[in-house]
Amino acid sequence: MFETQPQAIDNNYDKMMLCYYANNTESLQNLRIKHWESKPFERIVFPKERILFTAMPKAYLEISTNYAGKGTVSREVACDTLRIE
């Protein structure tokens, strides 16, 4: 019989917020959360795809878009502006 180990409870769970992002471009985007208290998060988001994620209030979402022949454009958005109330 397999024994299950109890999962460690994240002490910051009550501070986490649910966020929403939509890739409204025609290009793939790479999303990454930037904040030392947040859990590691990196995702590829397809054109017109929407995503829900959790983040700490002071975290930033780094959005990198690769435009063919034009290089990569990166920007940062405060996760609290993407928060779902």
pTM of the model: 0.74
Question: What is the structure's pLDDT at 67?
Answer: 77
Mean pLDDT across the stretch 3-10? 49
What is the pLDDT at residue 20? 96
pLDDT 10s digits, 17-46: 999 999 998 889 999 998 766 567 899 999
Tokens of residue 82, six digits: 């993407």
Q: Are 35 and 26 in contact (CB under 8 A)?
A: no
